[in-house]
Amino acid sequence: MLLSACSEQRSSFLDPGGPIAAAQRAHMIEVVGWTMIAVLPVFVLVPLMLWRYRYRNDKARYTPDWEFSGWLDLLMWGVPFIIVVVLSSMLWKSTHALDPYKPIASAEAPLEVQVIGLDWKWLFIYPELGIATVNEMAFPVGTSVSFVLTADTVMQSFVIAALAGQIYVMPGMRTQLHVLADEPGDYEGENMQFNGLGFTKQKFRALAMTPADFSAWVEEVRSHGVALDEATYGRLAVASTGTQAHDTLGSPQMPADALYFNAVEAALFEGVLHRYMRGTAVPPALQPGAVGYLPPPAPTGESQ
């Protein structure tokens, strides 16, 4: 909590920016509190007993034939039993309350963002706005973001820790995550799955903005973005970090390690999902993330 205050980017549920992470933090504090009922007496009583029943203490009663105390047994088994009952019912309740698939109530209509996990970057598609980004995604404060996620490579783990829990993404599968930020901020998102050399660089900025700032950001992405068609996607999907992909596809108007796209093909996400759902194995040449993947050739006449 102290360290997270040092950086501008917020990366822990202990410094929550929205209701889900706040509930996670409250849950953790409650769990620690209840567990301490069992743990603290041990920490206090063990040294106390070692000292009281030490060899040279004549005042401590010596009872070598003592073997049973009903009250002591009731205390030793009863208290942990109650704690286990309390903790399991709390866990049951918060597991259902914090279900990542459950929409979060918010005044504004939810914003849908499609996420495709690539090596080693995240592609964010805004289907209603016709834009897409890599390494940077923005959304308005107070609006529930409804993520729909898949992967076009090996399994990955998507998390924006200061806002919500993690969710896995897998090729040919669709998972969901709902996120809401109550405060504007720069939240760190990442891939928590170890899946190759570049995975530590697979981080992105989740920017919670005022609605006006968000509209300006969308315009910025539209005007400085490049078209995301099959050829561009093919080159984006090659194993590279976001910064490396920026060097291949980016323009100087885009932020240093992020990519902006406009003219996004409407069914791109569905297409990626269905690549793995045809009932036959995908040949490596057609599968981003596989060794031997051959991206579609760049259209002729294009620079870079």
Name the residues that contact Cu ion, by CB under 5 A.
170, 173
**Class of residue 49 by CB neighbours under 10 A (exposed 0-12, middle 13-18, buried 19+):** exposed
122 preceded by a cis bond (ω within 30 of 0): no
Nearer to Cu ion, 38 or 173 (CB): 173
Of the candidates 6, 9, 288, 7, the one whose C-alpha atom is nearest the C-alpha of residue 123 is: 288
CB of 172 to Cu ion, least distance (A): 9
CA distance 225 to 247: 14
CA distance 156 to 190: 10
CB of 173 to Cu ion, least distance (A): 5
CB of 24 to Cu ion, least distance (A): 23
CB of 276 to Cu ion, least distance (A): 11
CB of 122 to Cu ion, least distance (A): 18
Nearer to Cu ion, 104 or 170 (CB): 170
Residues 294, 295, 299, 302, CA torsion sign: negative
User: Residue 284 is encoded by which pair of tokens?
Assistant: 């490596």
Three-point CA angle 218, 222, 224, nearest 5°: 115
DSSP letter, residue 102? S
Nearer to Cu ion, 170 or 298 (CB): 170
Nearer to Cu ion, 135 or 287 (CB): 287
Rounded to the nearest 5°, which phi and psi values hold at 117?
-80, 125
Nearer to Cu ion, 90 or 170 (CB): 170
CB of 175 to Cu ion, least distance (A): 8
Three-point CA angle 289, 194, 149, nearest 5°: 60
CA dihedral of 267, 272, 277, 278, whole degrees rounded to 10: 80
User: Residue 164 is encoded by which pair of tokens?
Assistant: 């919500």
- Rg (C-alpha) for the chain, rounded Å, is 26
SS3 117: strand
